């Protein structure tokens, strides 16, 4: 079982869209995929149309009340298709995360919870919030690789840099096997007429410390991606011939190639 996190210390970079699209593509390829929505904004859960009466990740985060027992992740998975299951999020998780972060061993929450799921799933995809809070840290400690969606502008670049620094610290202290699987540009194409975006993209591509991490595939702006989410469908079902579907198919292929290296 491979565990992959999609993260950036900046919102609005296409993180949730990317995590969902890659997860759905992995399932489409025949893999058994568990998607964990670890973002209290719960955008992935909303886009997937998950019933709000189902247990959410926060119920596994809160301290166990006297005489009670918190559910395990394996018990709150909601199966959407034979190949694709999800653990949903909820806005109240923002409160749960504060308490969760006070636990001495919160770093290892996902690692411990996922240990017994290797026979059920081939891939676990974690979508994190646009920050480096306790849930993001716990996701990274449990992961084989983190993929960083990046809108090539000033704030996106700063968010990426903070995450790269965090990965280095977590690798030293908690997860020596963690690596940055790749950085990919979103809402971007080399053909777009956005000079500032091209300047920042070239700066990252030419940075000796980062250039080997920059992925070839970029994700173009495409309305089909938003439409598919509003209709609670994977983009491959909603608009299989769209640029969005094509870009994420290619991105997933590149991710799989990088995981083999």
Please determine, for residue 83, whether its predicted confidence score (pLDDT) is greater than 90. Answer: yes
Stated pTM of the model: 0.94
Q: How many secondary structure helices (H) and strands (E) does the chain include? A: 11, 7
Helix, strand, coil tally for the chain in percent (to 5)? 45, 15, 40
Dihedrals phi, psi of 13, to nearest 5 degrees: -105, 5
pLDDT of residue 182: 97
Q: Are 48 and 232 in contact (CB under 8 A)?
A: yes
Answer positive or negative: Cα dihedral of 156, 162, 165, 166.
negative
Q: Are 174 and 212 in contact (CB under 8 A)?
A: no
107 Cα distance to chain centroid: 17
Dihedrals phi, psi of 116, to nearest 5 degrees: -95, 10
* Burial 116-133, CB ≥16 within 10 A → b, else e: ebeeebbbbbbbbbbbbb
DSSP 30: T
**CA–CA dist 5, 178 (Å, integer):** 10
Sequence-ordered list of residues with C-beta below 8 angstroms from that of 206, at least 6 positions apart, any chain: none
CA angle 213, 209, 174 (to 5 degrees): 75
Please determine, for residue 65, whether its predicted confidence score (pLDDT) is greater than 60. Answer: no
**CA–CA dist 232, 48 (Å, integer):** 5
**CA–CA dist 141, 166 (Å, integer):** 11
Secondary structure of residue 13 in the 3-state scheme: coil
pLDDT of residue 68: 58
Task: Give 70 or 133, the one with higher predicted confidence.
Answer: 133
**CA–CA dist 4, 52 (Å, integer):** 25
- Among 73, 76, 75, CA closest to 51: 76
pLDDT-derived band at 61 (thresholds 50, 70, 90) equals confident
**Tens-digit pLDDT profile for residues 164-206:** 999 999 999 999 999 999 999 999 988 887 888 888 889 999 9
Please determine, for residue 1, whether its predicted confidence score (pLDDT) is greater than 90. Answer: yes
User: What is the set of domains in the chain, with CATH numbers?
Assistant: 2-62+71-260 (3.40.50.300)
Question: Where are the strands (E) in the chain, listed by range?
Answer: 2-6, 33-38, 78-81, 84-87, 123-128, 145-150, 179-185
**CA–CA dist 140, 174 (Å, integer):** 9
**CA–CA dist 73, 56 (Å, integer):** 9
Secondary structure of residue 97 in the 3-state scheme: helix
pLDDT of residue 63: 60
- Among 158, 165, 129, 128, CA closest to 143: 128
């Amino acid at each position: 079982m491979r565990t992959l996190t999609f993260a950036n210390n900046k919102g609005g970079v296409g993180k949730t869209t990317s995590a969902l699209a890659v997860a759905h593509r992995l399932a489409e390829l025949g893999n058994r995929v568990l998607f964990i929505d670890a973002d209290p904004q719960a955008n992935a859960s909303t886009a997937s149309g998950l019933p709000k009466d189902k247990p959410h990740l926060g119920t596994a985060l809160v301290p166990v009340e006297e005489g009670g027992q918190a559910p395990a992740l394996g018990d709150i998975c909601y199966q959407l298709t034979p190949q694709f299951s999800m653990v949903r999020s909820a806005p109240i998780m923002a409160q749960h995360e504060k308490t969760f972060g006070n636990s001495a061993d919160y770093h290892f929450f996902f690692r411990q919870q996922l240990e017994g799921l290797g026979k059920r799933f081939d891939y676990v995809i974690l979508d994190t919030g646009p920050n480096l809070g306790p849930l993001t840290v716990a996701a990274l400690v449990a992961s084989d690789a983190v993929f960083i969606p990046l809108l090539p502008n000033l704030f996106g670049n700063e968010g990426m840099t903070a995450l790269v620094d965090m990965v280095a610290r977590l690798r030293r202290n908690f997860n020596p096997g963690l690596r940055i699987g790749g950085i990919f540009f979103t809402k971007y194409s080399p053909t777009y007429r956005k000079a500032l975006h091209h300047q920042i993209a070239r700066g990252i591509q030419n940075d000796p410390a980062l250039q080997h991490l920059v992925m070839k595939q970029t994700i173009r702006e495409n309305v089909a991606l938003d439409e598919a989410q509003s209709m609670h469908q994977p983009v491959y079902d909603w608009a299989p011939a769209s640029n969005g579907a094509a870009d994420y198919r290619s991105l997933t292929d590149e991710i799989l190639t990088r995981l083999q290296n």
